[in-house]
Amino acid sequence: MEIDIPPGTQPNQILKIKNQGFFNQNTKIRGNYYLKIIVELPRKVSQKQISLLNQFYK
C-alpha cells in the first residue's frame, strides 16, 4: 500500500484510510485502516547535513 501523507501532518497524528481495513464477512463491508505517524530524528547530524538544511530553510 502506498500512502501520500498530507503536508502539515504532525507527529503522533492518526490518519484514517477509508475502506482499506479488514473485511467483515458478516456485513460484507471493508473497515477503515488507521495509521499513526511516528517521526524519528537522527541522533547525529553531519556538517554537510546541517549545511543542506540551512540552504533548505533560506
Q: Which three cell numbers stand for residue 4?
A: 501520500
The predicted structure's pLDDT at residue 23: 95
Predicted pLDDT at 14:
98
* Nearest Cα to Cα of residue 17 among 34, 37, 36, 40: 34
Predicted model pTM: 0.64
pLDDT tens column, 24-57: 999 999 999 999 999 998 999 999 999 998 998 8
Q: What is the DSSP letter of 5?
A: P
Q: What is the DSSP letter of 26?
A: T
Alpha carbons 37 and 51: distance in angstroms, whole number: 27
